[in-house]
Chain A
Amino acid sequence: MKILVCASTTPDTTTKISFVNGNTKFNTEGVSYILNPYDEWYALVRALEIKEALGTGSVTLLTVGPASDEANIRKGLAIGADDAVRIDAEPISAFFTATQIAEFARGKGYDLLLFGKETIDHNGSEVPAMVAELLDLPFVSYASSLQLEGRTAVLDRDIEGGKEVVEAPLPIVVSAAKGMAEQRIANMRGIMMAKTKPYQTVPPVAVDPKTSIAAFELPKPKSGVKLVDADNMSELVRLLHEEAKVI
């Protein structure tokens, strides 16, 4: 079983977001980066579990990003990926990133291409579907469970108000949601081994990103909380009805 796990890096979830250059650029000063949680906690861990259960196969971690992503890629190796690839480019748009991933994966015979359901910085949920189309593969999104029955993948797919159990033949593209696996913490042995695992850097292919970001904005802060006495819930109801007009 040859598995490719695509993971991006993203600002730590506690990051206070701000922008520079007239609100056109994310202010990276003092920001620490993590692997995108869905990619690390669910896609990567499930890939490792599948490999372990079969007792054979390989898990390759792929990131499209700058050299500063290396520490996080090493973390993915420490958790258990066999080797890692970094495509040396800023992931400037979903289409740009998807093209890099698809061009790398094409013809390499991956059985499973695992993604997170979305990045917590771009929040697009676009890249995996694009990769699937570029490679003409089936795609199941928001999978909260992934089992293999021979060459058939059986997945729970989160849908609005429920779940669908679906099956599809390998090779397949899957995006992972909460429930697919439990987060793993790298141990000392993993961290030591990660230092010597294969890690290659690949140049990007040239492609029109098609979509770009012109400017950023911060949401308007709330004007201040109106406190209502705990004994006076009919006053709260009145405010919600007459002032906020939400009930």
Chain B
Amino acid sequence: MPDEMTASALLRRLGETLATLVVASLVVYLLVDLLPGDAASMYLGKDGVVDPAALERLRKEFGLDRPVITRYVDWVWGVLRGDLGRSFVSEMPVTDLLAPRLNNTLVLLGITLAIMLPLSIIAGVVSAVRSGSTLDVATQTFTLAVASMPSFVLGIGLVVVFAFLWPVLPAVSLSLSPSTVVLPVAVMVLGWMPFPTRMIRAGVINALRSPYAEMALLKGLPRRRRLVSHVLPNAIVPGVHAFALTAASMPAGVVVVEYLFGFQGVGVLLIDSVRARDTPTVQSLTLILVAFYLFANAVSDAATTLLTPRLRVR
């Protein structure tokens, strides 16, 4: 149970998260600004070189003639009021551009996590308990093989098998539906599961071999109870970190999957927006991704604190 110390630790963590968010947004804003070319020159292309007057006009229209800090402060002020700004070229509110794609990606990642989390715990624990058995060796070999395969190779393999050789699933995911998410989710679960699974397996094996576990067994505790009440709470901490790391890298990894399946998500949007130097979109998306990353880390820290009594009293 979290006590007062835990609450203040969590609050401090939240404060740090917010500060990191602000710093990250500033860094990203400045970095995008440092990239050669801006939205106006990208939009005009060769015409901008040839017609500097048109370039200046467009810069003014986009508000790019103002100092970068002014633009940043304006943008932050907008975000605080829930306004992510308008895309330069299409003049669409960034929220309108983002919302449908963010929804798609979140659904995809949500399903992936919901499957991956229990699956890797079960696989890790079973492998650890049956350490050295055929099942364990098979699981380890399979997960290692899958983990070392780039996700696009895995994805194409699955497409060939399940969309062409044995056509039960769509080859591309042009809209969100139960059948279209199966393959993208399968690629992500298979690609990301091995790391937490192996961490959990190692943690459980370690804990099982520790003196307190031996002692519990000697005192006559049933194996199952020893595993669930004594071993798992201690063994799961590295697994939680592995989860957090995996979850944090998901928005990056999802890009490949989105491309492969023609899925309309935020990954493709981010790449396109960077190419177009569309700062309002890039900036808002980055903010969301950074927040996602920090959130995953904060959740992992909080979970660790809750799972580790030592950390709670310090």
A and B bind: no
What residues of chain A have their CB less than 8 Å away from a CB belonging to chain B? none
